[in-house]
Amino acid sequence: MSALMHTYNRLALALSHGEGAWVYDLDGNRYLDALGGIAVCALGHAHPAVSRAICEQAGKLIHTSNIYRIPLQDQLGEALCSHARMDSAFICNSGAEANEAAIKLARLYGNKRGISNPAIVVMEGSFHGRTMATLSATGNRKIQAGFEPLVQGFIRAPYNNSAALQQIAENSRNVVAVLLEPVQGEGGIIVPDEGYLAAVREICDKNGWLMMVDEIQSGMGRTGQWFAWMHEDAHPDVLTSAKALGNGFPVGACLARGDAAEILSPGTHGSTFGGNPLACAAATTVIRTMDEDKLVARAGELGERILNRLRAELADLDGVADIRGRGLMIGVELEHDCAQLMQAGVDAGILLNVTAGKVIRLLPPYILSDEEADLLSEKVCALVTGFLKSVHSAA
Ligand SMILES: *Cc1c(COP(=O)(O)O)cnc(C)c1O
């Protein structure tokens, strides 16, 4: 431990293996995984088809570099583009890298149109990653503090406010794109009002801006649609994916359509590891499994089931501010800081997360049975009830 840079305050729990929605610690205790490695393990742990695909491919060919054709990368690009309704893909290794590609693409798009200082509109409360450009795009001062000078060329707008975006359109000449999460994740599971994404699409159309959606957390079926923009049919120009794309194997993608699909060309972008046969075998298997087992619709159903339970038991409690979500992206906002619930969850046999200080964040796998979904809801309700009791008795 001491040989690692102290970039995380970790819980003491160390896990040894998992199966489906369950993980086991070194002493054999089991935990219901309501976090899925932060929206990553959508098919649960040790999924047989994914594990088999990784093992078989690892025995054949792991890496060749992008100097050569990679048929598995072609296959992944096609699968991603058909599911996301996009035209072309750049395959990389993480979410931040996918967003870096999108940011570079937008700048090149602007420069090719004669805009020499292109700006991208980004949102308050957003999260886009930890590299210099993506942390500059992120709407959270804590993530930026100490890393100045930040990357220039971002204009901040309030989320879920199309009038403010319209205002920027009227006042700025150098905007080339908008980058936003269709549901904000780290920001506290913020679901925008109906009509917002469509309004953003319309403003982008009117002004010749690219609409770029960061679907790294909200995509790959989590909200009950393959990608969350599909709830409003606000067809974006650029879409980024990662997290659940490899079910735990590191892989990301930047997808684009129309004019945007033709922007990046040889020499403008690249990655040594990106799109290697192993990552592509994992990701194509994830997509195929979600299709075959109809897991995207299932994520929507499960989300409703869990949300209904949570609302029925918690909504009226003193100390619960809001219960919200879309599919299996669920937030329970309390009126008190509740980071301690992560350890309390471990003690109660459930893995969950707290984000934005007061929001319990649930991002469970889509392979939950009804009984597991109900158990998850029960455990969360018991934790919240116990926590609020202790807060109120201390006050
Ligand atoms: C997690 C996340 C990222 C960053 O992904 P990494 O793989 O950690 O680089 C970017 N955007 C959103 C919306 C995310 O949830």
The two tokens of residue 257 are 């359509």
94 lines ligand 1 (CB under 6 A): yes
The closest residue, in CA terms, to atom 11 on ligand 1 is 128
What interhelical angle do 277-292 and 295-314 show, nearest 10? 70
Regarding pTM above 0.75, the answer is yes
* Domain coordinates in residue numbering, the chain: 15-39+294-394, 49-292
- Cα-to-chain-centroid distance, residue 193: 19
Are 180 and 123 spatial neighbours (Cβ–Cβ below 8 Å)? yes
CA proximity to 257, closest of 211, 290, 316: 211
Pocket test for ligand 1, best of 216, 271, 273 (most atoms within 8 A of CB): 216
Task: Confirm whether 127 is a catalytic residue.
Answer: yes
The two tokens of residue 333 are 């906002």
110 lines ligand 1 (CB under 6 A): no
Name which CATH class applies to 15-39+294-394.
Answer: alpha beta
Tell me if 15-39+294-394 shares its fold with 49-292: no
The minimum-distance atom of ligand 1 relative to the CA of 186 is: 15
CA proximity to 381, closest of 309, 302, 327, 304: 309
- DSSP class per residue in 119-136: EEEEETT----SSHHHHH
Residues 6+ apart with CB under 8 A from 52: none
Between the CA of 94 and the centroid of ligand 1 the distance, in Å, is 7
Pocket test for ligand 1, best of 134, 243, 254 (most atoms within 8 A of CB): 243
The pLDDT profile of the chain, 395 residues, written as one tens digit per residue, is: 589 999 999 999 999 999 999 999 999 999 999 999 999 999 999 999 999 999 999 999 999 999 999 999 999 999 999 999 999 999 999 999 999 999 999 999 999 999 999 999 999 999 999 999 999 999 999 999 999 999 999 999 999 999 999 999 999 999 999 999 999 999 999 999 999 999 999 999 999 999 999 999 999 999 999 999 999 989 999 999 999 999 999 999 999 999 999 999 999 999 999 999 999 999 999 999 999 999 999 999 999 999 999 999 999 999 999 999 999 999 999 999 999 999 999 999 999 999 999 999 999 999 999 999 999 999 999 999 999 999 999 87
Cα separation of 155 and 158, whole Å? Answer: 10
| Interval 282-317: pLDDT, tens | 999 999 999 999 999 999 999 999 999 999 999 999
127 lines ligand 1 (CB under 6 A): yes
**127, 227, 273, 387: which one is catalytic?**
127
* Range 49-292 has CATH code 3.30.70.3420: no
128 lines ligand 1 (CB under 6 A): yes
185 lines ligand 1 (CB under 6 A): yes
- What integer pLDDT is reported at residue 1 of this predicted model? 57
Cα separation of 370 and 262, whole Å? Answer: 45
Residues 6+ apart with CB under 8 A from 375: 32
217 lines ligand 1 (CB under 6 A): yes
Write down the mean pLDDT value for the chain: 97
